[in-house]
Amino acid sequence: MLIKTFKASTATQALAEVRQALGPDTALLETRRVGGRIEVLAAAERPRPVTSRPPANEIGETSLPRNVGGIVEAGGNISDSADGAAELYEQLRASGFAQELTQRIVSLARERLVQRQLADPQLRLRYTRRVISGLLRRTTAVMAANTGLVALVGAPGVGKTTTAAKLAAHALVEQRGRRVVLASADTRRLGGAEQLDGYARAFDVPFYLVREPNDLARIRERAGEGGLVLLDTPGVPRADRRGLAALAMTLRGVSSSEIELLLSADSDSATMADVIRRFQPLEPGALCATRTDETVRPGHLVSAVARARLPLRHLGCGPDVPEDLEPVDPNKLAAWAVPGVAGGMR
Ligand SMILES: Nc1nc2c(ncn2[C@@H]2O[C@H](COP(=O)(O)OP(=O)(O)OP(=O)(O)O)[C@@H](O)[C@H]2O)c(=O)[nH]1
Ligand SMILES: [Mg+2]
């Protein structure tokens, strides 16, 4: 692996130099402006002749469009497309996309778009959104109508109780006739379960406390066949291994597809990755992102979801119950995540 820094007065020049020295199979590790000059940190396995075509990209090659919305597939040429590639790199990084994912998206764009297309901000944006949407489509899923239980787990304050209430309200309206039950395993903290009990009273649905693992089986029975149990759990702080072990005991008998891990979309992708790693022992089968309304760099969420390879099922887009809950729409999420699109999920 060869890693080199290139400096030039414009991005075009810097990238032309990178290509000249290292060939087209080069990963851009960092592009930054230093004292009015552009500095590019680039890496290559070994220098390659400039005429060779870049290798196939790793991003879901087969499922990604080869001809996107009239954009004709073309071999990438870094010197031709330098401006667009550097701008795209900076746009994605500014939106919070992790470096690795940014590099993959940029090299895919370089490989598939001709210079004119890559330099055109609108075409570039459209293509990039397609790529991100394709990436998310493979990791998103709607909640199966026949899921009998949804256990919401996550860090303290991420929105578990609010999301349980939102899901209950949606199920009551959208799946009329279905028996909905609210339950809380948040019994350790004073007042932990009262909030959800309050929602249960407001919705006129049963509410149960889960004090030991066997309680869940009884609650499932009370919900009956076809019923839906929404289970709130205590927030597990970062250092609380015993709390996580206790929660794992409570969730014994709950299948992976019934456990949804909440991520705060306004945190950074490293924090989200840490949460995903920490809760791995519970084997959550899906993710839910909250606080999208507070999120200014949505690329962090997209990067964390893409890396986790878990389906993203729901989006919390505000504190209000029930309206601030959205199903995941990959196109909408991609449009929100790509730089240049202002505003939240709405
Ligand atoms: N802006 C915004 N606020 C939210 C969202 N979801 C929840 N909240 C707010 O975040 C705060 C915490 O929400 P809770 O549902 O109590 O969080 P929790 O995970 O149950 O918290 P603990 O039980 O203490 O671990 C409340 O003020 C909610 O109104 C969201 O999507 N956007
Ligand atoms: Mg709570």
Identify any residues that bridge with 3 across adjacent strands, giving them in sequence order. 43
Does the structure show a pLDDT above 60 at 61?
Answer: no
Q: Is 235 in the pocket of ligand 1 (CB under 6 A)?
A: yes
What pLDDT is attached to residue 186?
Answer: 95
The per-residue b/e assignment along 279-306, b for 16 or more CB within 10 angstroms, e otherwise, is beebebbbbbbbbbbebebbbbbbbbbb
State how beta strands 325-327 and 312-316 pair.
antiparallel
What pLDDT is attached to residue 262?
Answer: 98
Q: Is 290 in the pocket of ligand 1 (CB under 6 A)?
A: yes
Q: How many CB atoms lie within 10 A of CB 55?
A: 12
> Of the bound ligands, which one is closest to the alpha carbon of residue 163?
1
What pLDDT is attached to residue 92?
Answer: 95
Which ligand 1 atom sits closest to the C-alpha of 186? Answer: 23
Does the structure show a pLDDT above 70 at 171?
Answer: yes
- For the ranges 27-31, 40-44, 283-287, the one whose mean pLDDT is highest: 283-287
Does the structure show a pLDDT above 90 at 28?
Answer: no
Please tell me which residue, 76 or 327, carries the higher pLDDT value: 327
Tokens representing residue 320 in the block: 């209000």
Tokens representing residue 3 in the block: 């890693």
Measured in Å, residue 197 CA sits from the centre of ligand 2 at 11
What pLDDT is attached to residue 139?
Answer: 57
The per-residue b/e assignment along 82-94, b for 16 or more CB within 10 angstroms, e otherwise, is bebbbbbbbbbbe
Q: How many CB atoms lie within 10 A of CB 230?
A: 26
pLDDT tens digits for 136-156?
876 555 444 457 999 999 999
| Separation of alpha carbons 325 and 167, rounded Å | 8
Q: Rounded to 5 degrees, what angle do the CA atoms 228, 230, 233 make?
A: 155
Provide the whole-model pTM.
0.78
Which H, E and C letters describe the chain, residue by residue?
CEEEEEEECCHHHHHHHHHHHHCCCEEEEEEEEECCEEEEEEEECCCCCCCCCCCCCCCCHHHCCCCECCECCCCCCCCCCHHHHHHHHHHHHHCCCCHHHHHHHHHHHHHHCCHHHHHCHHHHHHHHHHHHHHHHHCCECCCCCCCCEEEEECCCCCCHHHHHHHHHHHHHHHCCCCCEEEEECCCCCCCCCHHHHHHHHHHCCCEEECCCHHHHHHHHHHHCCCCEEEEECCCCCCCCHHHHHHHHHHCCCCCHHHEEEEEECCCCHHHHHHHHHHCHHHCCCEEEEECHHHCCCCHHHHHHHHHHCCCEEEEECCCCCCCCEEECCHHHHHHHHCCCCCCCCC
> Of the bound ligands, which one is closest to the alpha carbon of residue 184?
2
Mean pLDDT, the chain, integer: 83
Please tell me which residue, 280 or 177, carries the higher pLDDT value: 280
Q: Is 319 in the pocket of ligand 1 (CB under 6 A)?
A: yes
Task: Give me the domains of the chain, ranges plus CATH numbers.
Answer: 2-137 (no CATH), 149-337 (3.40.50.300)
Please tell me which residue, 117 or 2, carries the higher pLDDT value: 117
> Of the bound ligands, which one is closest to the alpha carbon of residue 315?
1
pLDDT tens digits for 246-258?
999 999 999 999 9
Identify any residues that bridge with 44 across adjacent strands, giving them in sequence order. 2, 26
Which ligand 1 atom sits closest to the C-alpha of 165? Answer: 15
Which ligand 1 atom sits closest to the C-alpha of 294? Answer: 1
Measured in Å, residue 210 CA sits from the centre of ligand 2 at 14
Does the structure show a pLDDT above 70 at 211?
Answer: yes
62 confidence band (pLDDT: 50, 70, 90): very low
Local structure of residue 143 (DSSP, 8 states):
P
What pLDDT is attached to residue 108?
Answer: 93
- Ligand 1 pocket test target in 152, 161, 162 with most atoms within 8 Å of CB: 162
Does the structure show a pLDDT above 50 at 65?
Answer: no
What pLDDT is attached to residue 210?
Answer: 96
Measured in Å, residue 252 CA sits from the centre of ligand 1 at 25
